[in-house]
Amino acid sequence: METTPERKVKLRGQGLSATRPRLELLQILENDPRPQSIEEIISSSSGKLALSTLYRAISELLDAGLIETLVSPDGKTLVETTLQATAHHHHVFCKGCDKAIDIEFSDDLEKNIEAEVKNIEISNGWKVSDHSIEILGICEQCTVR
Ligand SMILES: [Zn+2]
Ligand SMILES: [Zn+2]
């Protein structure tokens, strides 16, 4: 968990001033480091972030590369910080509530995926830059319901 001064340094390092909404957003994402929905962020901010302010902060931090967004299978936007996550990871989505968690594959599996990706490049003449793999399921809370 980073401190507020560290977050200010990160923002300024990206040419952004350390405004309250930007700091608030980063702190919320770091407090619960998994992809979070707009509704979850708003409720974690306990009234400190208005929806329009949040959207603006998200787009600014996204441009600066400090956060990433992903879209759930139902089309919901989820936001996660890039400051502490391991660079390459995957997501499991709950089809019941749209919650997502971060997961990492074993090195062996990643190597196999990379090898397959090489084949795709060769057989299609594409240049592949990255891969993203989504796993879908039902989370613990939704199973109990
Ligand atoms: Zn769920
Ligand atoms: Zn991977």
Residue whose token pair is 């929806």: 51
In which domain, by residue range, is 118 found?
A: 86-145
Q: What CATH code is carried by the domain that includes residue 6? A: 1.10.10.10
Which residues, 6 or more positions from 92, have their beta carbon under 8 angstroms from its beta carbon?
A: 100, 101, 103, 134, 135, 136, 137
CA of 58 relative to ligand 2 center, distance in Å: 25
The total of other beta-carbon atoms located within 10 Å of residue 134's CB is: 13
Looking at the CA of 74, name the nearest ligand. 1
> Do 61 and 99 share a structural domain?
no
CA of 107 relative to ligand 2 center, distance in Å: 9
CA of 145 relative to ligand 1 center, distance in Å: 9
pTM value is 0.78
Tell me the pLDDT of the chain (145 aa) as tens digits: 678 888 899 899 989 999 999 999 999 999 988 899 999 999 999 999 999 999 999 999 999 999 999 988 888 899 998 866 567 889 999 999 888 999 999 999 999 999 999 999 999 999 988 888 889 999 999 998 6
CA of 144 relative to ligand 1 center, distance in Å: 10
The number of distinct structural domains making up the chain is 2
